[in-house]
Every structure is written in structure tokens, then in C-alpha cells.
Chain A
Amino acid sequence: MTVEEYNRSVDQFSDGLYRFILNNIRDTEKARDIIQDTYEKLWRKRETVSSEKVKSYLFTTAYHTMIDLLRKEKWSSDVSTVNSDSYSHTDQYSDLNEILNEAIGRLPEDQRSVIMLRDYEGYTYQEIAEITGLSESQVKVYIYRGRLFLKKYIGKIESVI
């Protein structure tokens, strides 16, 4: 890819990439670092990454960089430990987005990532599988479990409100 295509990818994808990482780790500085690290990797690999594959490359690289960071910080949570009945909520919510944002933060890392890739970026199951390194059936299962959890969380909050 040329320098112009690289700079265009910054304009086109850095916002979405930043949103994806920021909503996952909820840390502005770390999210910025991951984005800069991701684009630095893209720059080094620009001879081998075509402009058609650049978005997929960016999200794949950013996702794995984030996973590495989370594992280093032991920040990831176990899927099996999530119990939708066990969470408590004392915050006051003004709208659905806040509730949903809170619920997304409680999802296990894998479920959160696949749902955000699906909703924010509109990736297919196969594309999400390629980005995350999961199988397509695993992606479907994680989306199913994540939606189920979100629906129950929202339902409970709405019933309280």
C-alpha cells in the first residue's frame, strides 16, 4: 500500500478502531497506545498489506494487541464466572445507552469483542472469526450468549426503573 493509502486508512478506520478498543478496555491512554501500536505495525507491514485488506488487518492486529495487554494485566475474566443474576447495580441510568454500556462492560472479553465487531463494524461471522481467531461456530455461540446476557441485564434494569 502507498503512503496515501496508509494515511487514508488512518482517516477511515482509526475512529472505529479506537471505539472498539476503548469500549473493550475502558482506558483512554491504553486505547490510544494500542491504536498507535497497531498503525505502527501496519506501517512496517505496508508492503505486504493491500488496501483492500487493511481494515481487517487493523482490527485483527488491534484485537490481538489488546488481548496481549489484557493478559499481561490479568484483566480478562472467565466466561464461566459470569452470572447475570449476581450483578448489582446502584448507578443511576439516564438512558438505554448507559445501561447497555454498563452491560457490555460486564460481558466476558470474547463475547464483548464479537458483539462489538458485529454491531459497530458490521462484520460477518466469518470475518469476526478471522479477526478473533475463533471458529465461526464459536463466534455464533458467543454472540448468542452475549445477547442473552444483555437482554436479561436490560430487562432487569428496566423493571427496576
Chain B
Amino acid sequence: MSITRENYESFFLDYLEGSLDSSLREEMDAFLKRNPDLKAELKEFEQVSLPADSVRFEEKEQLKKTASTRDDLGEPHFDHLCIAKIEGDLNIHEEKALDQMLIGQPQRKKELDLYFKTKLQPLPVIFPDKQLLKRKAPVFRLRSWYSVSAAASVILILVFSLLLSRFRNPQEERIAIIQPTAESSDNKVSEATAIMEEDIPSIPEEFAGRMVTQKQPEDQEKIDVVAMNIPETPMQKEGENFSGNGQETPADRRANLERLHRREFALINTSPEVTLATAGVTGRDNEGEGEYLTLREVVAGRLRSTVSAKEPGETGREDRITFLDIADAGVRGINRITGVDMKLERYYDQSGELTSYAFTSKPLSFSHEVKKKTSL
């Protein structure tokens, strides 16, 4: 690198501060000899340099930290030790230093006492809204109840499906046998006709009260349909064959059934207990006093006896399938499937009114009182 008249200024500063290396210094000396005018300028640079700083900080010693001797500890250090004392931050040496500082210094002891007084003491403050903050655990019981109900419904559907499949067996669907009686030929049914269940018309309510029973030998379990003293219908007068003759067509059979609708008839029980085909449905009440049950009562009783393992008439109304019946059936079904032991028990008062029910299982049990309806 060569020093020229264009770049000499930066080299001048380094030259004056002595930061040029030896080769550059020699080159600068040669440059100044070649340029005497610039040598005079360099001397002017030397004249503007500031004299050495004569200002001094006189309190240096107060800032210095030395060994923890009483004479060397200043006031700020004392405050620090006092605060560290009440905070429990002092080590053994600092404890000794503080003790040394307090010897023969009542004013310092008083200050240390003041520092101890700055320690806040917990006051008995009570938060008044605690109960508002607390939360309740999720109500699993309700969800379980819904789950049980849902499972019960599914099982109930399965149970009904099984029952209906039995009813639909062609050999077992026969629920009554219509046989001729010894009455007059105009009014009796001439020959027995098996009526399929789906073909049986519903018995009008006005006929229900006219149903009579007639004792027959016990080994004869059938229902005789006998005509009563009822005037002939116009259709009979036309000479149409009402009874089946073995050649009956479906159209004939339907026409005969329509006539049956128009005739008053009685179902005569020929046995102490009328059995609805072989499905095992008892058509009489359990007292056997001759009162026949409606189809609704029969189904409800069948449900209780088959699914809920309760005898008809044991509790509650016979003609109504309640929610508890369904739940009970579901619980029993779950017990059979899973092998767990759950119970749904009902409690009745002396008049037979449901008062409460209780569900019992290993993880959960509860009971619920049924509200009684008050009659006005």
C-alpha cells in the first residue's frame, strides 16, 4: 500500500496514535520528506489533541466491597443484611457480620426490628362465594337410566318378535274352534270351521256383554260358536251357504266372515280354561270365575308372565303395559345376556297402587317415589 496525497489523512491519524506498523511508518516518513507542506499540516494535528483528563471520582472507596468487617460495612449493606435476614437468605458468614454490626448499636437494632415489622401477617380473609365456584360431578345415573331404557326397548322388541313368530306358526295360529251345536239348524253353525287369527274380526263391544259360557267335559278344549235367537239377515234368506263345506274359496270365506260380523254370537267355553291355541295364552282371568279377558289384557298378562316372570294380577293394572314393565323386561334381558345381577323392583300400597320403584345393581342403585295423582 502506498501513501498518496489523496489518502494521507487517515494515515496521519494512525501515525499520530502510533498504530501504524513499521513498514507503513517508514513509508510515511518517506512520504513526509517528499511532501514538506504536509509535514507542516501534521504538526497542526498534534496541537489539537486534548490534555489528559484531570477529573476524578472521589468516592471510589465507598463503592468498593471488601471483607465483612464492621468497619468496612456501609449503611446500604446493613439494610441489605436486614432484609436478607427477614427473608431467611443469610448464610453463616453474613449472619455473623450482621451480629457484629448490631453490637453496641441500639439504633441499628431498632431498624432491624422495623424490618421485621414489615413482614406481612396473613389476615383471616374468607372468600364468601366458595359454593358458587364448586362444580358437581356429571350425573351418570341419568345417562345409565337412559341406556338401560334403550337396551330394554331393544330386548323388548326381540322378545315380541319371538312371541309373534310363535303366533304365526300355521299349526299354532288357531285360537278357537267353531263347532256345530245341537241347536236348531237355522241358527247353529253347521260345521266346525277353523278361523285363522288374521281372519278373526274384532268382536264388537256391544257383543262382549252377551258372551256366555257353557261347561263342557274337561278334555275338550275348544270354543263353540252358537247362534242366538237372532233374526236371519237378508243374505241368509238368499240361501247362501254360511258354513264352510270344504270347497270354500277365499272369497266365500270372507263373505262368511262378514256375515259373522252381522250376527250376534256367543263364544261358549267348552273347558274350564280356554287356551288360545297352543301359544299358552289363557283367555280367562286367573281366578277362573268365567270372566274372559280382552286381547289387551291377555297380551299384557303374557308379557308379565313370560318376560317379567310376574303372574298376572300380581301387581298393578292388567290391561296396561307400563314403562316399568318395559324397563323390567329390559333389565331381565340384560341379566340373561351379560350375567350381571340387576333388579328393578316395584312397591305397591295396600290398594295396589304403585308407590315407588327401585333399581339395584353392583355399581349403581337408586329408588324413586311415584307421585300419586290426587283426584279432585
Residues of A near any B CB (own CB < 8 A): 3-4, 6-7, 10-11, 14-19, 22, 32, 35-36, 39, 43, 96-97, 100, 103-104, 115-116, 118-120, 143-144, 147-148, 150-151, 154-155, 158
Contacts and interface: CB of A to CB of B under 8 A. Distances in A.
Given A3-B137, A144-B80, A155-B114, A15 B121 contact: no
B135 interface: yes
Contacts of A96: 117
B87 interface: yes
Contacts of B137: 3-4
B126 interface: yes
B192 interface: no
Nearest to B134: A7
A9 to B, nearest CB: 9
Contact of A18 (B111, B117, B125, B138): B125
A28 to B, nearest CB: 9
Contacts of B111: 151, 155
A14 B132 CA distance: 12
B130 A148 contact: no
B251 interface: no
Determine chain A's interface SS by DSSP, over half rule: helix
Given A97-B121, A154-B117, 16 more contacts: A6-B135, A10-B130, A14-B130, A15-B127, A18-B126, A100-B117, A103-B118, A104-B120, A119-B121, A119-B122, A120-B120, A143-B83, A144-B80, A147-B115, A151-B117, A155-B114
B106 to A, nearest CB: 14
Interface residues of B, number: 28
A131 to B, nearest CB: 16
Contacts of B221: none
Determine chain B's interface SS by DSSP, over half rule: loop
**Max chain B C-beta neighbours (<10 A), residue from A97, A115, A143, A147:** A147
B105 to A, nearest CB: 16
Given A144-B80, A151-B114, A39 B133 contact: yes
B118 A147 contact: yes
**Max chain A C-beta neighbours (<10 A), residue from B114, B120, B122, B137:** B120
Contacts, number: 78
B55 interface: no
A8 B184 CA distance: 90
Interface string B254-298: 000000000000000000000000000000000000000000000
Nearest to A13: B127
Contact of B135 (A7, A14, A104, A144): A7
6 contacts: A3-B136, A6-B135, A14-B133, A35-B133, A100-B118, A119-B119
A100 B120 contact: yes
A4 B135 CA distance: 9
B125 A15 contact: yes
**Max chain A C-beta neighbours (<10 A), residue from B127, B134, B138:** B127
Contacts of A104: 120
Nearest to B111: A151
Contacts of A35: 127, 129, 133
A143 B127 contact: no
Contact of B79 (A4, A97, A116, A148): A148
A100 B116 CA distance: 12
Contacts of A16: 122
A122 to B, nearest CB: 9
Contacts of B80: 144
Given A43-B135, A143-B87, A15 B120 contact: no
Contacts of B83: 143-144, 147-148
A97 B124 CA distance: 13
Contact of B127 (A14, A119, A148, A154): A14
